[in-house]
Structure 1
C-alpha cells in the first residue's frame, strides 16, 4: 500500500467537508429530485463504463488534471449539464454516486473515492453557482443564444479553475511536487477538452428543457461516446507503439551497457531541435522515436565490440558501421515510425559525403537523419564512454559549430544551440547512472575530452 502523507489526508477531509457544506442547502430548496436522480444515475453509468483504469488516483490522471488532460471522461458533459439545469446544491449531488462507486485499483481505495467525489462535487457546484448567478438558467430555458454560450463558458472556466486549484494542492501535499510547479499548466491543459464537454453539456441542457424532454438530451451522449471510443483506440495504439520502442531500447541498453540512457537523451535532444525548427507535434514525436531508436541496429553487432576498451581495429570499425543498416532492416515493417526509419539508416551520413553507410551528401541526407546526427554527436561528446571521458556542454557545442557545414547541417546545429541556450540541458538519467554535474547555464558533466575524437569528426561509429 502506498502511504498517503497526513497533510494530504487532512486536505482530502477538508475538501470533502467543503463538498458537504455545498450540498447541504439542497434540503431547503425546491430541487427537482427526479432530474437529480436521473442525472446522477446517468453520470454513474458513464463513470462505470469509462473503463477499468483507476478513478480515485491523486495523480493528475484521475483527478481534475486527469479530467483536463489525457484521461477524457464522457461523464463530464453530464456534470456540466447538471450545472446548467439544477440549483448549485442539487448539482453538487450529481457526481457523488458515480465517484463513490467507481473502480479504484490503488489503495487506500476509500480515500481516493472520497477525494474524487469531493472534488467533482465542488467543481460542479462552482460551475452551477457561476451559471445561475449570470442568469444562465433563463438563457437555457428560452434558448437565448449567444448569451447562453457566454454563461456556459463562464461556468466551464469555473469548473476548470476549481479542479485546477484542488489538483495543485493534492499534488503538492501527496506527491510532494514543489509549490511553484504544482499548479503550473494544469488550467490550460484542462480548458480545451472541458470546453468541448461544456458544449455537449449545454446541448443536453437545452434539449432537456425543450418539448422533447430528457430522452432527446440523452442522444447527445451517443456521438460523444463514439468519438471517445475512437480517442481511446488511438491512445491504446500509441501505448502499443511506446511499448514496442521501450522493448527495443531496453534490449540495446542491456547489450551495450556503456551507452545506457544514450537513446533516451538523443530522443530528447532531437525533440528540442524539432520544436526549434517549428515542426508540428506529430512529426516531432516521430523524430523523437528516430532519436530513441537510432542505435537499435547495435543488436546485430557482437557484444565484445560494443564493450571493447580502447581503439577499434579497421575490421572491427567496419563491423560496427553496419549497425545503421541492421537497424533499418529491424524496423522496416514498423509502419508508425514513418520518416524515423530513414533517420535510423542515415544518421551517420555527413554533409561532405564522408559518412556511412552510403556516403550521401548535403540535401541527399533526409532531414530527420540530419537532426539525429547532431543530437547523437552531442550526447556522445557529453557522456563518458569506455574509450574516453565526457566533455562539458560548452565544449561540445563549440565542436558542433566547428564541424557545421562539413559534418553537420548548420541549420540543425543553430537550432540546437538556440534551444540549449533557452532551455538548458537536463538529460534523462537512468537509475544506474550518476547524474552529471551542472554548469551555470548549460548543465553538463565536467571532464577532459578524450583522445579518440579526430579533428573534424565528432563521435565515432560507436555513437
Structure 2
C-alpha cells in the first residue's frame, strides 16, 4: 500500500473493516446461513469474473478480458433478494478478490473492490429485507416484488457511487465538490437492468425449477454484457488511435493546435444536418479530426518555417493528403474517412489537388471536410491572423460554393450554425514553447496580449494549408503563388 496516499490507505482499511463487520454475522453458528445458496452464488459470480482473470480464456475470447471486475452485477443483486444481508455480502468476496486488476498496486485495489461490492450487496439486501422482498419471492407477488428489486438496485448503485467518489477524493485528490460528478446518472440505468435480471434469477431460483433454471436467465445476460464490453473496448481503442495521431500532428505543427478537433466538430454538424446515419457521423468526425494527419510526412523545417516557402517546398506541402492517406490506409475502422483525408483539398471546379477531381467525383466525406476545414480556418484566431466573424466566413463560403465547395454542404453548415451556434477556442496565439514544455494533450491556449493581428492590416496570403483572404475564392492561388513564381509566406499553414 506504500504507493497509495495515506488517505487512500485509510479508506481501503476502513472499507475492509466495514465489509468484515457486515459479513461477520453470517459466520455465527446460530445464524442459520443457507451455505449452499451462498456457495453457489459466490461460485457463479467468481466464474463470471474468471475470463478477466485467466489468460487462456482471455485469449480464447479475442485477446481481451470480456468483463472487468465487478461488472456482472445480476448475480449479486439476485443474492441480495435471496439471502440475508450478511450472507449477501459474502457472495461478492471470492469473485472480487480473484478479479483481474489492470493497474498497480493490485493488492489494495482488489481489497477495495471486494469491500466495496460487499458493502453494496449488504445494503441492497437490507433494503429488500426491509421491504419484505424475500417473503414475496415465493409465490412471486408482482408488482410488489418488482418495486423491491428496483429499490435494491438503486441502493446498490448509490452505495457504489458514494464509495467511488470517496476513493476519487482520497486516492486522486479530487475536490469534494466535483468528485461525484458524472458517476450516478450513467450507472443507474445499467444497474436497474441488472436488478431486473437479478429478480428473474431469484424468482426462478425459488421456483420448483430450482437454481439450474436461473442459469438460463444469466447466460444470455452474461453474453450481452460480454458483447457490450467488447464494443466499448474496441471503441476505446479507436479513440486512442485517433488521439495519438492528432497529438503527433499538434506537437509537430503547433501553429494550428486544436484545429483538427474543431474541424471534426464542424463536420459532425454538417453530417447531422444532412441526415446521415449515426455510424457515418462518427466516421466523418474521425475524418475531420484526421484530415491533416499527412503533416506527419511533411518535413518539420517546412511546417515551422517562418520565411517564405519556395516552389519546391510548396509542392512538398501539397503532398500532405497523400501522406495522410498512406498513414491511415491500414486502419480499417476509418472506412470512408480515408477518402476524405486524401481528397479534402479537391475543388468542385477540378482545380484542386492531389488528383484534380471535380463535382461529385469528389467523395461526399471529402466535400464535407473541405467546408468544415475552410470554415474553421477563417473563424480561428491565431498569432498571425485575426478570426473572421461567423457571418463573414459563411458569406465567403457561399461565394465560393459551386467553384470550390459543394453548395449543399455550405447550406447544411449554415443551417446547423443557425440552430446550434459556434464557439471557437483561441489557438496558437502564444509563442511556441520549447519542445520539453509542449503539453502532451492538445488544447486551446490562453490569449497572449498583442498576439492578434492589427485589425486594419492585410491578412496573410494563401498557402496549401490556409485560405486566401483577399477578394478571390478560398485557397485560390494569388498571382505568383504557383511553381516557379514568387514564394508564399509560411504563416497560415492549415
Counterpart CA distance in 2 for 1:377 and 1:127 is 53
Give yes or no for the alignment of 1:137 onto 2:138. Answer: no
Task: Return 370-379 or 33-42, whichever deviates more.
Answer: 370-379
1:148-227 equivalences in 2 (<5 Å): 148-227=145-224
TM-score (norm: length of structure 2): 0.73
Stretch deviating more after TM superposition (126-135 or 158-167): 126-135
Moved more, 321-330 or 291-300: 321-330
Match of 1:447 in 2: 452
| Counterpart selection for 1:118 from 115, 118, 127 | 115
Offset of residue 383 of structure 1: 6.5
Find the partner of 1:406 among 399, 416, 423.
399
Per-residue CA deviation, residues 318-358 of structure 1 (Å, 9 max, x unaligned), is: 44233224434554554321232233234335678775454
Answer whether contact 2:72 2:222 (CA < 8 A) is retained.
no
Find the residue that maps to 1:98 and give its secondary structure: helix
Residues 37-436 of structure 1 mapped to structure 2, 5 A cutoff: 37-51=39-53, 71=68, 73=70, 75-242=72-239, 244-245=241-242, 248-249=245-246, 252=249, 256=253, 258-259=255-256, 262-264=259-261, 266-267=263-264, 270=267, 282-314=279-311, 316-328=313-325, 330-332=327-329, 334-349=331-346, 356-357=353-354, 358=356, 360=358, 366=364, 369-371=367-369, 373-375=371-373, 378=376, 382=380, 384=382, 389=384, 391=386, 395=388, 397=390, 399-407=392-400, 409-412=410-413, 415=416, 425=425, 430-431=439-440, 436=445
Shift of 1:119: 1.3
- Secondary structure of the 2:309 match is coil
Distance 2:179 2:450 in 1: 29
With 100-109 and 239-248 compared, the bigger mean Cα shift is at: 239-248
**Superposition deviation, residue 205 in structure 1:** 1.1
Residues 141 and 380 of structure 1, relative CA distance in 2, 3 Å threshold? farther
Distance apart, 1:86 and its partner CA: 0.8
In 2, distance between residues paired with 1:97 and 1:454?
A: 67
The unaligned stretches of length 5 or more in structure 2 are 56-66, 429-437, 462-467, 477-491
* Matched residue SS, 2:308: coil
Residue aligned with 1:220, SS: helix
Aligned to 1:57: none
Q: Structure 1 unaligned runs (5+)?
A: 54-69
SS at 1:94 equivalent: helix
In 1, Cα distance between equivalents of 2:371 and 2:141: 59
Corresponding residue number in structure 1 for 2:15? 15
Cα distance in structure 1, aligned partners of 2:108 and 2:136: 39
3-state SS, counterpart of residue 399 of structure 2? coil
Task: Specify whether residues 109 and 275 from structure 1 end up closer, same or farther in structure 2 by C-alpha distance, changes over 3 A only.
Answer: farther
Task: Output the CA distance in 2 between the equivalents of 1:414 and 1:312.
Answer: 37
Indicate conservation of the 8 Å contact 1:351/1:405, yes or no: no
Count of paired positions = 437
1:31 pairs, out of 30, 33, 39, with 33
After alignment, is 159-168 or 283-292 more displaced? 283-292
Change (3 A) 1:351 1:145: farther
Q: Measured at CA, do residues 458 and 22 of structure 1 come closer, stay the same or move farther in structure 2, by a change above 3 Å?
A: farther
Distance in 2 (alpha carbons) for counterparts of 1:343 and 1:313: 27
Deviations along 1:281-314, whole A, 9 cap, x unmatched?
5344323311222112334445543333233345
TM-score scaled by length of structure 1: 0.77
Q: Deviations over 1:213-270 (max 9, x none)?
A: 2222234333234334433443444355345545644664566565566545544665
Instruction: Answer whether contact 2:371 2:397 (CA < 8 A) is retained.
Output: no
| Structure 1 residue matching 2:398: 3-state secondary structure | coil
Task: State the distance in 2 between where 1:419 and 1:400 align.
Answer: 16
Q: Could you say what the CA RMSD is over the residues aligned between the two structures, in angstroms? A: 4.1
Following the alignment from structure 1 to structure 2, what is the Cα–Cα distance between the partners of residues 459 and 438? 27
Please say which of residues 403-412 and 242-251 is displaced more in the overlay.
242-251
Deviation at 1:190, TM superposition (A): 1.0
Shift of 1:30: 3.0
Moved more, 237-246 or 108-117: 237-246
